[in-house]
Amino acid sequence: MEKSNDLCQALVSLKEDEVKELVKKYIEAGKSPKEIVLILQEGLIEIGNKFEKEEYFVPELMYGAEIAKVSMKPLESMLKGKELKTKGKVILGTVFGDIHNIGKDLVGMLLEGDGF
């Protein structure tokens, strides 16, 4: 991970407002949506590493994924109409009526952040 990247570090530090503001600044500065998504992806990978080392737990993992997801919203309009290269498609689900879908949601957010 590029340690000097402020956007990546803000995401790893779980600073939602700072991440949103930096995404806005990056867009205004002319950074491509793909570059921004890749930076957010690096942050998600680092959050996953912290989870593996037991420095972060499930709530931090989910919050980081949610910050990244919300921060990508402004990029959607820029990406519409452009063919995005994805790693593939994944279908997730839970048993009908099961309210315990936290694992599915977590996996979905992580896969989405990783380009699926």
Is the domain spanning 6-83 CATH 3.10.20.30? The answer is no
- Residues 74 and 24: beta-carbon distance below 8 Å: yes
Domain-wise residue ranges, the chain: 6-83
pLDDT band at 83 (very low <50, low <70, confident <90, very high): low
Residues 6+ apart with CB under 8 A from 114: 41, 44, 87
What is the model's pTM? 0.73
What percentage of the chain has pLDDT greater than the value 70?
A: 84
CA atoms within 13 Å, Cβ hemisphere of 69: 14
pLDDT confidence of residue 98:
74
9-68: pLDDT as tens digits: 999 999 999 999 999 999 999 998 888 988 998 998 899 999 999 999 989 998 998 899
